[in-house]
């Protein structure tokens, strides 16, 4: 009896998992359909771009700076041991721009923006604000979801650029204080190493990071149920699922970059 | 099958005008829970029709079917002569501007000020401006509910009664022909409830709207209604004026008046 119950619970969980994947796919399809259909909610889109960029910029730059400091501090002794100190700027530059900058920024945004979208839309859902928008003859999906997802998709690459820049400054700070490297030498080394094949894939994957964070955050909020408890669940699962999706997108992006640019 | 409506219904004594909403055999289920089992109703011009029913009897589901916030399983809902299940999104949005909806929890957009809450529907439907300025219409709507001074406040700064009044102002700003009220007095103290009831009557007089009010507040029903429908077991169980229904001997009807 217990075994049967366990099996049925497991079956339900698997069924729910695939159902959720189906629902997210439909939600994403609807997003693309609504996004290309005029009119565009420009005012709300710019407002969301400002909110997402402005709210996350400080956190992203502080984290980026610390990331540059820590990476340099951790790697420096090993590089010294092999007499490869002169490769420090190149190594740090490649690491930050290809992988660490986009990933750290995306994970911070998954936490901050994903949870904020999940909670805000979830709260609007349970307090019938989304219904109120609908009965006033406004398309709430276009107004609330499309603008947020687009804003997230557009702003994330900009935040990644900010994090990369500040991360390199953090790395330079350590190199300057410990190794007495001049700014010109440090940044020359960095930019001589970085190629088009480093910048393009990381920029493209940043757009996709923004897209999945926006889609998951909005989906969780827009479809939240069970009252105020559902709002907390929506915010929480938005962060968890968005973070997992960021890793998945990163894996796909690295595999694709490996094929196209022979990393 | 016994149809209690046929047994208990009384002919309303108000003069029937044109039917603005016509509902025929509406059915709605959530899994095994059959909420509506063939509901029928007409709402006439300038009428205040009250639907009463126990909590969980499907009153809110019913009212949401009228504006397709909830899709019915079967049946027919005609609003202003249009079958709503056959409307495309654009036509439905246009129709929705003719039907105001006051939500139970007010549903004010809490990231916007009172002014922005009222401007929101107007900016989306500039054809509804009737040659007037947005600012003037917002102030007029707020004056109708006696809260012109609250124009720059955020919803979080308002009391429950004030929220309900602002939500009412937002509902009337597009000058709808029909207003649907979902529990307009729930969660309010008796004095504020009376104020809201009076406001509903004033607005109906001023804007000549037809109102459909969902409630389980019998005081509200007594004061507002021209006609009442009792929703029970998913059907319109009894129908008539308040005075007619209160005299019925049926225990299921009497339960509402005791």
ipTM: 0.86
Q: What is the mean pLDDT of chain B?
A: 86
Mean predicted lDDT score pLDDT of chain A? 89
Within its chain, how far is the Cα of A121 from the centroid? Answer: 19
Q: Would an 8 Å CB–CB cutoff place B69 in contact with chain A?
A: yes
- List the single residue in B with minimal CA-CA distance to A137: B93
- Exposed/middle/buried for B21, CB within 10 Å: 0-12, 13-18, 19+? buried
CB-CB under 8 Å, A136 with B174:
yes
Residue range A163-174: average pLDDT?
Answer: 93
Q: How far is A255 from chain B, CA to nearest CA, in Å?
A: 42
Cross-chain residue pair B69–A132, CB shorter than 8 Å? no
Cβ-defined contact of A135 to B96 (cutoff 8 Å): yes
Is pLDDT of B115 > 90? yes
C-alpha gyration radius of chain A: 22
Instruction: Please answer yes or no on whether A135 and B108 come within 8 Å at the CB atom.
Output: no
Residue B5: per-residue pLDDT: 46
Question: Helix axis angle, B114-124 relative to B134-144, nearest 10°?
Answer: 120
pLDDT at A249: 93
Mutate to test the interface with A, among B61, B111, B178, B180 (most CBs of A within 10 A): B111
Of the candidates B69, B105, B125, which has its C-beta nearest A135's C-beta?
A: B69
CB contact under 8 A, B94 and A139: no
The pLDDT confidence band at residue A206, using thresholds 50, 70 and 90, is very high
Residue-level pLDDT at A1: 54
Which of A59, A32, A43, A45 lies closest to A113, judged by CA? A59
pLDDT in tens, B148-202: 899 999 999 999 889 999 999 999 998 999 999 999 888 888 888 888 899 899 8
Q: Any chain A CB within 8 A of the CB of B206?
A: no
Percent share of chain B, pLDDT over 90? 37
A127 vs B105: CB contact, 8 Å cut-off? yes
The confidence band for B1, taking pLDDT boundaries of 50, 70 and 90, is very low
**Residues of A whose CB is below 8 A from B170:** 136
Tell if the CB–CB gap between A135 and B93 is shorter than 8 Å: no
Per-residue pLDDT tens over the stretch B199-213: 899 888 888 899 999
Task: Determine, for residues B110 and A136 on separate chains, whether the beta-carbon distance falls below 8 Å.
Answer: no
pLDDT confidence tier of residue B14, bands split at 50, 70 and 90: low
Nearest residue in chain A measured CA to CA from B176: A136
pLDDT of B10: 40
Domain ranges of chain A: 41-261
Token couple for A37? 């259909």
Flag whether residue B97 sits within 8 Å of chain A, measured between CB atoms.
Answer: yes
Domains in chain B with CATH codes: 4-257 (3.40.50.300)
- For position B9, what pLDDT does the model report? 39
Mean pLDDT to the nearest integer, A8-30: 86
What average pLDDT does the segment A85-91 reach? 86
Q: Pick the range with the lowest mean pLDDT from A28-37, B35-44, B125-134.
A: B125-134
Rounded to a whole number of angstroms, the distance from the CA of A224 to the nearest CA of chain B is 16
Residue B232: its H or E element: strand B227-232
A179-203, pLDDT tens digit by residue?
778 888 888 888 888 888 788 888 9
pLDDT band with cut points at 50, 70 and 90 for residue B11: very low
What is the share, in percent, of chain B residues with pLDDT greater than 70?
Answer: 94
The pLDDT score that the predictor gives to residue B16 is 66
Write out pLDDT tens, residues A22-80: 999 999 999 999 999 888 889 999 999 999 998 899 999 999 999 999 999 998 888 88
Give the mean pLDDT of B104-108: 89
pLDDT of residue A179: 77
B124: CB partners within 8 A, 6+ apart:
A136, A137, A138
Probe site for chain B from A42, A131, A137, A139 (most B CB atoms < 10 A): A137
């Amino acid at each position: 009896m217990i075994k049967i119950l366990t099996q049925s619970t497991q079956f339900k969980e698997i069924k729910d998992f695939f159902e959720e994947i189906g629902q997210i796919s439909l939600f994403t399809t609807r997003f693309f359909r609504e996004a290309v259909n005029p009119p565009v909610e420009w005012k709300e889109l710019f407002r969301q771009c400002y909110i997402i960029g402005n709210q996350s910029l400080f956190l992203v730059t502080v984290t980026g700076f610390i990331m540059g400091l820590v990476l340099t501090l951790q790697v420096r002794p090993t590089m010294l041991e092999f007499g490869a100190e002169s490769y420090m700027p190149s190594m740090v530059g490649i690491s930050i721009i290809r992988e660490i900058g986009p990933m750290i920024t995306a994970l911070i945004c998954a936490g901050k923006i994903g949870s904020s979208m999940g909670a805000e839309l979830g709260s609007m859902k349970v307090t019938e604000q989304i219904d109120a928008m609908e009965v006033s003859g406004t398309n709430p999906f276009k107004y609330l979801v499309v603008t947020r997802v687009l804003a997230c998709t557009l702003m994330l690459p900009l935040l990644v650029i900010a994090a990369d820049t500040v991360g390199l400054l953090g790395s330079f700070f350590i190199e300057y204080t410990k190794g007495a490297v001049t700014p010109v030498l440090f940044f020359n080394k960095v930019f001589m190493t970085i190629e088009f094949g480093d910048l393009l894939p990381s920029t493209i994957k940043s757009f996709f990071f923004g897209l999945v964070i926006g889609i998951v955050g909005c989906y969780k909020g827009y479809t939240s149920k069970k009252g105020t408890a559902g709002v907390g669940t929506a915010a929480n699962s938005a962060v968890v699922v968005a973070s997992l999706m960021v890793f998945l997108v990163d894996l796909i992006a690295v595999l694709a970059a490996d094929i196209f640019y022979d990393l | 099958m016994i149809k209690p409506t046929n047994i208990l219904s009384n002919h309303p004594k108000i003069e029937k005008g044109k039917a603005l909403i016509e509902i025929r055999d509406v059915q709605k289920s959530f899994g095994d829970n059959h909420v509506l089992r063939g509901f029928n109703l007409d709402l006439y011009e300038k009428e205040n029709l009250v639907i009463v029913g126990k909590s969980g009897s499907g009153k809110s589901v019913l009212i949401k079917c009228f504006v397709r916030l909830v899709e019915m399983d079967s049946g027919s809902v005609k609003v202003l002569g249009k079958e709503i299940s056959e409307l495309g999104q654009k036509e439905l949005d246009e129709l929705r501007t003719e039907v105001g909806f006051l939500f139970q929890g007010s549903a004010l957009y809490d990231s916007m000020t009172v002014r922005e809450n009222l401007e929101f529907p107007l900016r989306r439907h500039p054809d509804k401006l009737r040659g007037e300025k947005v600012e003037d219409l917002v102030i007029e709507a707020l004056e109708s509910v006696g809260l012109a001074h609250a124009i720059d406040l955020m919803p979080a700064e308002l009391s429950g009664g004030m929220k309900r009044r602002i939500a009412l102002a937002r509902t009337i700003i597009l000058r709808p022909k029909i207003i649907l009220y979902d529990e307009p007095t729930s969660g309010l103290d008796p004095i504020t409830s009376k104020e809201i009831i009076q406001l509903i009557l004033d607005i109906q007089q001023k804007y000549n709207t037809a109102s459909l009010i969902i409630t389980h507040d019998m005081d509200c029903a007594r004061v507002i209604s021209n006609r009442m429908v009792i929703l029970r077991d998913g059907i319109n169980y009894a129908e008539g004026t308040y005075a007619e229904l209160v005299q019925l001997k049926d225990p299921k009807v009497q339960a509402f008046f005791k």
